[in-house]
Amino acid sequence: MSRKVIITCAITGSVHTPSMSPHLPITPDQIADQAIAAANAGAAILHLHARDPETGFPSPEPAVFDQFLPRIKSAIDAVINISTGGGMTMTVKDRIRAAKQAAPEMASLNMGTMNFGLFPALAGRSNWQHDWEPKFLEDSRDFVFKNTFADIETILADLGDANGTRFEFECYDVGHLYTLAHFVDRGLIKGPIFIQFVLGVLGGIGADPDNLAHLKRTADKLFGDQYQFSVLGAGRHQMPLATMSATMGGHVRVGLEDNLYLRKGELAPDNASQVRKIREVLDGLSLEIATPDEARTMLGLKG
Ligand code: KMH
Ligand code: ZN
């Protein structure tokens, strides 16, 4: 089979706030509608967070996930990937409740504790619709995105071993690859390993081609042919870095979790528009996209 590119679409996340775009999906129906449209546009994997339907504040509640997961699953066949990164104000225990309960084919697993600079995306705005938004911006200077070795072990055991969930290993810096290798050496992680290189989050590695090349070189050294990679570029770096990933043999991640825009100054009307845009790029490179079943085979998912 010739190489195929897996498109992941991250539908809403927990970084952007409702005032930043009227198109950011908030309610369970909005999340389901946009997820289904993104899958119909070509996304094989849907990376999902939940939000409080009234306020848009990131929610860890399995009951909220339950309001959109069944709709998505009955409408399309995409791989469901539930975030264990949750939101910056949640405890790790809270962050994994939904994935523990839903036992999805895939969940995210963040490979290190770090600062996570939300404020570059949020700063300079004043048209807030909700009281929590300016507070979130202020508080974000002190957020710690906690992903200790113990947290990683817990997630591997509670979701991986117990439920057969496999992971999107989110690596925001080179050191995270060495942490991943440590768990592989201990036999707690087995291939095929799916790494999401995350570039452009303040606190992690910067979004430039040299850095992506170095991440890939390091992963090649550590994991050989036991891994596949995808790339997530934050904000305006989304499409250029996804394009670079595709040309380097990798997969791509798009979606409003990572970037609210379609091009400079133009908000994306929905997630599907970003999926269509990266599809055009892939088509221009004569690269085919993977179906959900092809992604399952490539990544060894339980199906
Ligand atoms: N928002 C992304 C930069 C997670 O959900 O586990 C990181 C993310 C984390 O997707
Ligand atoms: Zn996420």
- pLDDT tens digits for 133-180? 999 988 989 999 999 999 999 999 999 999 999 999 999 999 999 999
| Spatial CA neighbour of 192 closest among 163, 155, 219, 154 | 219
State mean pLDDT over 272-296: 98
Q: Say which residue, 126 or 153, is predicted with more confidence.
A: 153
Give the domains, in start order, of the chain with CATH numbers: 4-299 (3.20.20.70)
pLDDT value at residue 2: 74
Helix (H, G, I), strand (E, B) or coil at 266: strand
pLDDT band at 298, cuts 50/70/90?
very high
pLDDT value at residue 122: 75
* 114-129: b (≥16 Cβ within 10 Å) or e: bebbbbebbeeeeebe
What is the H or E stretch that residue 289 is in? strand 288-289
Looking from the CA of residue 49, the nearest atom of ligand 1 is 5
Mutate which of 51, 65, 110 to test ligand 1's pocket (most atoms within 8 Å of Cβ)?
110
pLDDT value at residue 173: 98
pLDDT value at residue 118: 81
Which range (84-98, 129-143, 162-176, 202-216) has the least confidence? Answer: 129-143
pLDDT value at residue 119: 74
Distance 70 CA to ligand 1 centre (A): 22
Distance 11 CA to ligand 2 centre (A): 8
What is the H or E stretch that residue 73 is in? helix 69-75
pLDDT value at residue 126: 80
Which of 241-244's residues contact partners 24+ apart within 8 Å by CB, and which partners? 241/199, 241/200, 241/207, 241/212, 242/278, 242/281, 243/278, 243/281, 243/285, 244/209, 244/212
For the chain, state the CA radius of gyration: 17
Number of Cβ within 10 Å of residue 97's Cβ equals 18
pLDDT band at 231, cuts 50/70/90?
very high
Which of the ligands is closest to the CA of residue 107?
1
Ligand 2 ion: Cβ-proximal residues, 5 Å cutoff:
13, 83, 85
The residue with tokens 């199906």 is: 303
State mean pLDDT over 225-232: 98
Distance 1 CA to ligand 2 centre (A): 30
Mutate which of 122, 170, 197 to test ligand 1's pocket (most atoms within 8 Å of Cβ)?
170
State mean pLDDT over 83-90: 96
Nearest-CA residue for ligand 1 atom 2 is 258
End-to-end CA distance of the chain: 20
What is the tens place of the pLDDT at every residue in 4-58?
Answer: 999 999 999 999 999 999 999 999 999 999 999 999 999 999 999 999 999 999 9
ipTM: 0.96
Average pLDDT of every residue of the chain: 96
pLDDT value at residue 276: 99
pLDDT value at residue 12: 98
Looking from the CA of residue 168, the nearest atom of ligand 1 is 6
State mean pLDDT over 92-100: 98
Which of the ligands is closest to the CA of residue 198?
1
The residue with tokens 């995350």 is: 198
> Under a CB-based contact definition with an 8 Å cutoff, are residues 184 and 176 in contact?
no
pLDDT value at residue 204: 97
Looking from the CA of residue 10, the nearest atom of ligand 1 is 10
For ligand 1, say whether the CB of 34 is within 6 Å of any of its atoms.
Answer: no
For ligand 1, say whether the CB of 170 is within 6 Å of any of its atoms.
Answer: yes
Nearest-CA residue for ligand 1 atom 9 is 85
pLDDT band at 1, cuts 50/70/90?
very low
Flag whether pLDDT at 88 surpasses 80: yes
pLDDT value at residue 158: 98
pLDDT value at residue 121: 73
For ligand 1, say whether the CB of 243 is within 6 Å of any of its atoms.
Answer: no
